[in-house]
Amino acid sequence: MTAKPLPAHGTYARANGCPGYREPCKCGPCHKELRRVRKLHNVNRQLGRPGLVDAAPAREHLQRLLQQMTWEQIFTASGCDSRNLQLVADGRRTRIRRSTLTQILAVQPAPTARGKYVDATGTRRRIQALRAIGYSAKAIAKAAGSAEARMQLIASGAQPTVRHWLAEKINTVFVELHDTPAPASCSATMTRNHAKAQGWAPPAAWDDIDDPAAVPDWTGYCGSDRGWWMHRRQELPMCARCEQAHAQWHAERADLDPQERNRALFRARAEASQREADLAVDARELFRYGVDTEQAAARLGVTRQHLQQVLQRHPEQQPAAA
């Protein structure tokens, strides 16, 4: 059994000793630290300050630190015992020394360690989005310097966390490829069909791809009856929000006679199909006056991703040659 190393000179643990295990140290630095700690204890007692304080602030700070740092980094920066910090973070230690609280709160978040495991939500969505526009798992893995099986595992949702360095590499690949669909090939077609069957959203459908609470907006009107018709006419995977909105549309018109309800149904379908064509025409008119895509989307009241999709689905008609 390996003996536990002695505390360093100049620490309270070395100066106070441990009955039955080690004698108190009488050297100058240890004696000075012992007097300092005892004096501080007496002052706090006379001022009515409790020796132990609530550990909730320390626990919350540790949770924030763990989003970017590893335990080893936190142990080194705080100078606290590793087991003590883990008990505080788990909530099993509800009261700690005031000095321990000060040491923990003094630690500032450091840049995320490359080897730290992070949430795979954004990484999974990026791989799925690239596959939705035709890039195979093999192509993504080659660009990211990883294995094809790893890409498939992350895309399926079977791996909830990934290393920070891998998430950065996949993000770099996503930034390079998300605006350019894969070249036409048999493999790209099979990849798109597989992504469509799985209901994976393309890059343009995401406003904040890293937000776990975010949902893809396939049409620019998802969550409305118009979005449901756009899903149908463009043969996009149907999202739950549009299904719910279309069911509500029917429920609100349940008291109409069949003929009147059919007229309303035809009007809704016509409005959904005509809206995109008009939007593309209006956007190109703004482009002629030097307005960029971001500004045009803001003026037309749609997102930039949706406007780009509309322009792709409704290309500009060139006048026929005389």
pLDDT tens per residue across span 38-60: 888 888 888 877 778 899 999 99
Written as one letter, the residue type at 308 is Q
Rounded to an integer, what distance in angstroms lies between the CA atom of residue 266 and that of residue 35?
87
Written as one letter, the residue type at 261 is R
pLDDT for 126 equals: 93
Say whether pLDDT at 3 is over 70. Answer: no
Domain ranges of the chain: 12-105, 117-202, 225-313
Which among 108-112, 142-146, 245-249 has the top mean pLDDT? 142-146
Residue for token pair 């142990």: 75
Categorize the per-residue pLDDT at 217 as very low, low, confident or very high, splitting at 50, 70 and 90: confident
Structure-token pair, residue 114: 């490359």
Say whether pLDDT at 138 is over 60. Answer: yes
Work out the angle at residue 59's Cα, subtended by the Cα atoms of residues 57 and 61, and round it to the nearest 5 degrees. Answer: 70
Rounded to an integer, what distance in angstroms lies between the CA atom of residue 76 and that of residue 62?
13
Categorize the per-residue pLDDT at 1 as very low, low, confident or very high, splitting at 50, 70 and 90: very low
- Give pTM, 2 decimals: 0.57
In this structure, are residues 167 and 123 in contact, taking their beta carbons and an 8 Å threshold? Answer: yes
Structure-token pair, residue 32: 């000075």
Say whether pLDDT at 199 is over 80. Answer: yes
Categorize the per-residue pLDDT at 210 as very low, low, confident or very high, splitting at 50, 70 and 90: confident
Nearest to 204 by CA among 187, 191, 182, 220: 220
For the stretch 141-154, what's the b/e string if a residue is b when 16 or more beta carbons lie within 10 angstroms of its beta carbon?
A: bebbebeeebbbbb
